[in-house]
Chains A and B, each alone.
Chain A
Amino acid sequence: MTLEKSSQNSSEVELLSFRLADEEYSVDIMSVREIRGWTRATPLPHAPMHVRGVINLRGTVLPVVDLSVRLGMEPVVGDARNVIIVVQVGSQTAGLLVNAVSDILALPRTELQPPPELAADCAHSFIEALTIVDGRMIRVLDLGAVLPDENAEAA
């Protein structure tokens, strides 16, 4: 969704790839606002498991999502090597807690493939496309699906 919106006019797409539990994921770089070092988040009571809490981003309160938990994996252990990728989707800004940022990749759009139809699995619906770079498979995340939807979470 974001992908098409931000870079549909160009045939190239730029992705920020990062590591999450030894796997490689990426997001469209156009939705990335900044990358921050790890800071302790203040937990929110009664919040969903994947919501790590809130941090102070220069005076505004920024929710942080543990991407690993969100995708159904073990939580990221918070330490100095982890980073928070601040992304914006629509009017929402949120931080994604990941293990480490690896690279910025520029690919022709044609190299992105839709994920194959698999049996329902948690992480599947979050993946917008797949691609192969240097023999590694990289997943492109659909941020709209990853970030909590207002209606769904309020229920």
Chain B
Amino acid sequence: MATDPMAEIRASFFIECEELLESLQDALSDMDEGSHDNETINIVFRAVHSIKGGAGAFGLDALVAFAHRYETVLDELRSGRMTITPDAMKLFFQAADFLQDHVRAARDAAPPPEGSEDCLVSLEALIGGGAGPVVEEEVTDFQPMGLAFDFGPVDEAPATPVWTVRFRPSAALFSSGNEPLHLLRALGKLGASSTTCDLSRLPPLESLDPESFWLEWVVEITGDVTDFDIREVFDFVEDVCEIEITSGAAATLPSGAADFAMPDFGMPGAAALDLPPLTPDPEDPVPVAAAPAPQAEVIAIAKSEPRVEAPPPPPFVAVEMPAASGNGPAQREAASEPSATVRVDLDRIDRLVNLVGELVINQAMLAQSVAEAGLPPNSAVMTGLEAFMMLTRDIQDSVMMIRAQPVKPLFQRMARIVREASSAVGKEVRLRTEGEATEVDKTVIERLADPLTHMIRNAVDHGLETPEKRRAAGKTSEGVITLSAQHRSGRVVIEVVDDGAGINRPKVREIAISKGLVAPDAQLSDSEIDNLLFLPGFSTADQVSALSGRGVGMDVVRQAIQSLGGRITIHSEPGKGTRFSISLPLTLAVLDGMVVNVAGETLVVPLSAILETATLTDEDIRALGPNTNVIHVRGAFVPLYDLGAELGYRAPKSSYAGGIVLLTAQENGTRSALVVDSILEQRQVVIKGLQRSYGHIPGVAAATILGDGQIALILDPPDLVQNASGRTRSPAFALAG
């Protein structure tokens, strides 16, 4: 292989770090919501620990140092010597953010982030002073034990395996008349062994339930022992206790991989030696047979972050080595990764998506030529073609699904924004997220990050009141921002909701007038005032804070959303809060559209923009101005636009009676009617971008390729209406009509 294997392993390590950081954030959020169980705390601990372990192998000292001190504090928490307070949670979150910064800094070989020292100091202050009740002093004595096997040059690892047996009897073991002592003795007879008792789960005396059992033993056995021998000891108690048997000897690793990795991990012990007490890992006792092997099958996720440009390195096995060559617990972590996923380079997926796009076009062409050949409907060709069409559709859907990603990582980034923003302005803010599993096209997610960040900052800075004001208004001092995602009729709706004071409409109006954005005497509805926020150059903050109001306004947010084919709406209730809704297409690659004919040209109108279609009668059409018409539909007057005239294909017609109109809706709820000559069909089309060299064509979003190989333009009705002349009559015709 031409590339440096270490560089690839390193790249994989950082990809893995991102995943670990994600699970760290998850677990911290769970803790924040009140689940203080061991497993959650363990996840937090393991994530930090694994990062530290890997970083040690790569000599990333700053990262290791930070992770180590963070881990030390977490260990206190894990062993129950520290209680979880809101303040502590805040620090944990902060430290997690710093850990992320450290990881990124290490990856980009940038200087470590500033301020992490302060964070650590305050973290350590949590455990320095009043540590929780320490039940048994011996607990601390245990620390260096257990893992005291020689970590010299690893390739000279002992030929005899070192078995680590963790044995945790349940209460049922005692009620069935068994005695742990006998079992431990039997173990001791197998070979040279050292036995340690882990007391970390032991609760304080006052809450101790005498019927339950809290101890766990870790037995290290060196010698010519087989897995079977150890199992045999526990033969009769397997059901009433938890046993984990792991082999710590390097000799049991997949051989080729071990050779490959060893020289560079000079001190894999760095990961293992300063392991804190080996607390039980109750949830996942991995079957022994599964432990050494599974890394080869850990297929990771296709979620390569955009920044990580490394090609998917084949030797994933090697990535796991720092952990695997360590000892039992680390090994289990790797093996217990639940997801069976593949890490694929994004370019490959994009190529596949493009190819499927071609396939869809080709299939349409084929269908058209078969139809033109005039074959009987039930001929073999026709049935074959139908099956082919269904398959194509399925393939297309599946490929699109590959590109779809849950919005969770995006939401996690927002959680961080909320933390930073709220501490910067001194507000108490809680972020609630809903629908994190909602899947959206990857490109959409990437391009949504900036607008969403801005909206979240706005919500913290402008949307929510200060704690004092909130209390005065009879609300809890802690503001709540809800970030939700859901699928709604073929689109994704993402909402940012705050429970703040709502939009101060008189003030918005005043500012808009003072900035000359609206006329002083303009009559504006509430929703019109709300929409003023989207005007360029609008900022409501009295003072420009460090947080928002840096000249980037909601207009940029709206632009970004619109460039994704999305819409943003705003809804506010005074005193109750503000809701921003972003509606986005599921994918940027295909679109359900209505294929229409206008003046001999074929056009595609996105189905999502069409409310209904109608055939006009004479009574429907009313003249409005000298050259504009409105139509009367369902009790409302809707402006009429002639697509043929707006796109410059023909002059406005003299009469539209009998014409077909598409009723479309815009973000602000206004409707408009587009005249077309005929509706051809409704179908999925592959979106092809128009080259930018011609600039923005008003009303045209993109293009697609039809079954006959011709290109059809895809319209953007809201944009079209905004730029439309509205000429559906010319004065000359008006006289005639």
Residues of A at under 8 Å CB distance from B?
Answer: 39-48, 51, 53-56, 59-61, 63, 92-94, 147-150, 153-155
Contact = CB atoms under 8 A, between A and B. Distances in A.
A39 to B, nearest CB: 8
B697 A54 contact: no
B713 to A, nearest CB: 7
B357 interface: yes
B693 A63 contact: yes
Nearest to A54: B711
B361 interface: yes
B60 interface: no
A95 to B, nearest CB: 11
Interface string B593-623: 0000000011000000000000000000000
Contact of A42 (B361, B696, B698, B711): B711
Nearest to A149: B693
B649 A40 contact: no
B3 interface: no
B247 to A, nearest CB: 55
B713 A46 contact: no
13 contacts: A42-B601, A43-B601, A44-B697, A45-B697, A54-B703, A56-B705, A56-B709, A59-B357, A59-B705, A61-B688, A150-B693, A153-B693, A153-B694
B693 A42 contact: no
Contacts of B646: 45
Interface string B674-704: 0000000000000011111111111110010
B694 A148 contact: yes
B239 interface: no
A78 to B, nearest CB: 14
A50 B6 CA distance: 55
Contacts of A48: 694
Nearest to A43: B601
B115 interface: no
A47 B688 contact: no
Interface residues of B, number: 30
Interface-centre pick from B648, B649, B696, B712 (highest chain A CB count, 10 A): B648
Interface in B638-669: 646-649
Majority secondary structure of chain B interface residues (helix, strand, loop or mixed): mixed
Contacts of A42: 601-602, 703, 710-713
Contacts of A44: 690, 694, 697, 700, 713
B341 to A, nearest CB: 30
B355 to A, nearest CB: 9
Interface string B267-293: 000000000000000000000000000
B326 to A, nearest CB: 50
Contacts of B357: 59
Contacts of A60: 688
B691 A61 contact: yes
A39 B710 CA distance: 9
A83 to B, nearest CB: 17
B695 A154 contact: yes
B694 A63 contact: yes
A53 B649 CA distance: 13
Nearest to B358: A59
Given A45-B648, A54-B690, A61-B689, A153 B695 contact: yes
A137 B35 CA distance: 86
Contacts of A92: 691, 693
Nearest to A147: B693
A55 B709 CA distance: 9
Nearest to B699: A45
Contacts of A47: 694, 697
Given A46-B698, A61-B688, A148 B713 contact: no
A51 B710 contact: no
Interface string B371-410: 0000000000000000000000000000000000000000
Contacts of A155: 695
Which 7 interchain pairs have the tightest Cβ spacing?
Answer: A154-B695, A45-B647, A42-B711, A61-B688, A61-B703, A153-B695, A56-B705
A45 B698 CA distance: 8
B710 A40 contact: yes
Nearest to B361: A59
Given A39-B709, A59-B358, A93-B691, 19 more contacts: A42-B713, A43-B649, A44-B697, A44-B700, A45-B649, A45-B713, A48-B694, A54-B690, A55-B711, A56-B710, A56-B711, A61-B688, A61-B703, A61-B711, A92-B691, A148-B694, A149-B693, A150-B695, A154-B696
A134 to B, nearest CB: 36
Nearest to A94: B693
Interface-centre pick from B361, B692, B710 (highest chain A CB count, 10 A): B710
Contacts of B712: 42
A30 B566 CA distance: 42
B695 to A, nearest CB: 3
Contacts of B361: 59
B638 to A, nearest CB: 22
